[in-house]
Amino acid sequence: MSKVFYIFKDGDLYVKEGTFYFKNAEISVPIPVEQVMSFELHGGCNVSSGAFMLAGKHNIPIHIFDYYANYMGTYWPKEHYFSGDLTIKQSLVYSDIQKRLELARILVKGVENNMRAFLGHIEGDSMPFLKDNDLNDVKSIQDMMLIEARMRKDYYNRFDAMLPDGFKIDRREIRPPSNFGNSLISFGNTLLYTLIITAARKTSVNITIPFYHEPAAGRFALSLDLSEVFKPGIVDRFLYQIVKQGILQPNQVHFNEVGGGILLNENGKKIFMEYWDKWLVHTIFHKKLKRKVSHRHLLVLEMHKYAKHIEGIEKYDPIKIPDGD
């Protein structure tokens, strides 16, 4: 079974006899290609041309992060499932404001459903963030984003009340995250973004063409769109569990103060990734499919659902987690 390989140390990623190797002064580790879903490079890792070629041959993306865990970019292998027809249809949706607004309403309502599902799962309270007519009369994507921002502020206030004192968010901050709670949310959201990019490799969806966020050079904007659905049910649920269980501690054992912000150190990242990988293979019962599906595979299914909407086959209905319908 393939998986994500995380590399935190300086060293070299190269190929020998059809096998990836990571090597530095301390270790030399073979990484069989059939075991690799993607690479995430969080250290000063040098990648050989042979490694790029082998990754391209086997449809393996390589995600690159800087020292501060900021996403820098992805080596995107040659398209295996590219559909020019679907790309044109996605572009037509983006250029039609009414179709964009329709999808944006569906998305924001789906985000609210996931916020309520998560908080209700923990608190037993799923009070709504939106009124019935909040989204009906919105005329622009910008106004829709303002509604979502207010909703998310209320959500984080409620989420904050559930967290241990050392991991309180206070208010959502990104660059740089000023406390331990914000640091974990930012790191988790970044990993979710790259997971969706990797999931897109298994579909014909063009993730450079969004419907909610604006397209921009150097980013996969549809990944930003769809990640909003999964943040409460995948990232926030995971973070809640690891801090409540004391797996990560708000101190210098797992975090460092860097550049005026708080970031996970190497030890903290390793622990985070160890439990994150377990969380991604955790399964929930999918009511529509009538079988258990891993958190990771839910991302691929969401891509396919979005493609069906664009094709006019079936209206997009964002997944709700932990409900699983």
- DSSP state at residue 150: H
Could you tell me if residue 321 is inside a domain? no
Q: What Cα–Cα distance (Å) separates residue 198 from each residue in 38, 59, 60, 68, 157?
A: 7, 10, 8, 21, 31
Same domain for 111 and 205: yes
User: What percent of the chain shows pLDDT beyond 90?
Assistant: 66
- pTM of the predicted model as reported, rounded to 2 decimal places: 0.86
Statement: residue 173 has pLDDT above 80: no
3-state helix, strand, coil in the chain (%, to 5): 45, 15, 35
Statement: residue 184 has pLDDT above 70: yes
Q: Cα(261)–Cα(175) distance, rounded to whole angstroms?
A: 8
Sign of the alpha-carbon torsion through 82, 88, 89, 95: positive
Bridge partners (DSSP) listed for residue 62: 39, 75
Same domain for 293 and 203: yes
- Give Cβ neighbours of residue 289 (< 8 Å, ≥ 6 apart): none
pLDDT tens-place string over residues 58-108? 989 999 988 777 788 888 877 666 678 999 999 999 999 999 999 999 999
| Number of domains observed in the structure of the chain | 2
Statement: residue 220 has pLDDT above 60: yes
Structure confidence at residue 218 (pLDDT): 63
Q: Cα(111)–Cα(232) distance, rounded to whole angstroms?
A: 8
The kind and range of the H/E element at 306 are helix 295-311
Q: What is the mean pLDDT of residues 118-143?
A: 85
Q: What residue type is assigned to position 24 of the chain? A: N
For residue 1, what pLDDT band results from cuts at 50, 70 and 90?
A: low
The crossing angle, in degrees rounded to 10, of helices 97-123 and 84-95 is 90
Q: Cα(167)–Cα(154) distance, rounded to whole angstroms?
A: 18
Structure confidence at residue 80 (pLDDT): 60
Q: Cα(268)–Cα(42) distance, rounded to whole angstroms?
A: 13
Structure confidence at residue 323 (pLDDT): 67
State the distance between the two ends of the chain, measured CA to CA, in whole angstroms. 26
Same domain for 122 and 15: no
Statement: residue 325 has pLDDT above 50: no
Q: Cα(50)–Cα(294) distance, rounded to whole angstroms?
A: 32
Q: What is the mean pLDDT of residues 193-205?
A: 88
CB count within 10 Å of CB 32 equals: 10
Same domain for 237 and 93: yes
Statement: residue 324 has pLDDT above 70: no
Q: Cα(121)–Cα(89) distance, rounded to whole angstroms?
A: 38
Could you tell me if residue 178 is inside a domain? yes
Structure confidence at residue 72 (pLDDT): 85
Q: Mean pLDDT of all residues in the chain?
A: 89
CB count within 10 Å of CB 140 equals: 12
* Least confidently predicted of 14-28, 71-85, 177-191, 212-226: 71-85
CB 21 within 8 A of CB 13: yes
- Residue after which a domain boundary falls, among 50, 75, 100: 75
Q: Cα(268)–Cα(265) distance, rounded to whole angstroms?
A: 5
pLDDT top residue among 99 and 132: 99
Could you tell me if residue 167 is inside a domain? yes
Same domain for 179 and 107: yes
In the three-class reduction of DSSP (H, G, I as helix; E, B as strand; rest coil), residue 123 is classed as helix
* Least confidently predicted of 60-64, 143-147, 215-219: 215-219
Q: Cα(235)–Cα(231) distance, rounded to whole angstroms?
A: 5
Statement: residue 133 has pLDDT above 70: yes
Q: What is the mean pLDDT of residues 22-31?
A: 92
CB count within 10 Å of CB 170 equals: 12
- Residue after which a domain boundary falls, among 15, 49, 75: 75
pLDDT tens-place string over residues 48-58? 999 999 999 99
Could you tell me if residue 323 is inside a domain? no
Same domain for 169 and 189: yes
Could you tell me if residue 7 is inside a domain? yes
CA angle 152, 155, 160 (to 5 degrees): 125
- DSSP state at residue 60: -
* Least confidently predicted of 54-58, 197-201, 299-303, 310-314: 197-201
Structure confidence at residue 257 (pLDDT): 87
Same domain for 128 and 70: no
Same domain for 169 and 42: no
CATH code of the domain in which 307 resides: 1.20.120.920
Could you tell me if residue 271 is inside a domain? yes
Q: Cα(257)–Cα(250) distance, rounded to whole angstroms?
A: 11
CB 135 within 8 A of CB 108: yes
Phi-psi region of 10 (alpha: psi -120 to 50; beta: other; left: phi over 0): beta
What domain range includes position 35? 3-75
pLDDT top residue among 313 and 176: 313
Q: What is the mean pLDDT of residues 16-42?
A: 93
Same domain for 110 and 50: no
User: What percent of the chain shows pLDDT beyond 70?
Assistant: 96
Statement: residue 139 has pLDDT above 70: yes
